[in-house]
Amino acid sequence: MSTRDGAGRTIDDTETELLDAMRESDLVALDRLISDQLTFIGPDGAVLTKQADLEAHRTGATSFETIDVLSRDATETDEEGRTKTVANAVLRAAEGTVSVRLTWHREWRVLDGRWQVVAGAVEALADHSG
């Protein structure tokens, strides 16, 4: 049985909502979906906070052209869960676009009545072509 938050969303629903917000750099949605206590490890090993993540989307330092999900696993216990999403992504960068396969690992908790990312990491698996 899936745990639903106060809005009736499952962890899987919320992962989809987060990916959509990342594609659009939707700061309002990202702010709602990410815990203030977020600790996130980037592909280079740098530790990011919620504020740093939102700022990267605001300035365009993090900008996705596409995120095409290849697989997703979600596991949960009472009001906690984990997702693993593998996707081919195209990121916009100053030097053009970069295609890469990414794996996101996220830890979720129901906080203030809604699923929020509290920790996670992303790793680049391999470059890929279109």
Which residues, in sequence order, are CB contacts of 28 under 8 Å at separation 6+? Answer: none
The answer to whether residue 78 scores a pLDDT higher than 70 is: yes
| pTM exceeding 0.85 | yes
Half-sphere exposure of 38 (CA within 13 A, CB side): 26
Q: What tokens does 88 get?
A: 């081919």
Q: What is the pLDDT of residue 126?
A: 61
**CATH T-level fold of 11-127:** Nuclear Transport Factor 2; Chain: A, (3.10.450)
Q: How many CB atoms lie within 10 A of CB 70?
A: 12
Hey, is 33 helix, strand or coil?
Answer: helix
The secondary structure of residue 5, as a DSSP letter, is -
8 A C-beta contact, residue 6 and residue 114: yes
Instruction: Give the Cα-Cα-Cα angle 108, 34, 101 (nearest 5 degrees).
Output: 75
pLDDT tens-digit map of 120-130: 999 998 655 44
**Pairing outcome for strands 47-48 and 80-93:** unpaired
Spans of all domains in the chain: 11-127
Q: Provide the pLDDT confidence category of residue 52 given band limits of 50, 70 and 90.
A: very high
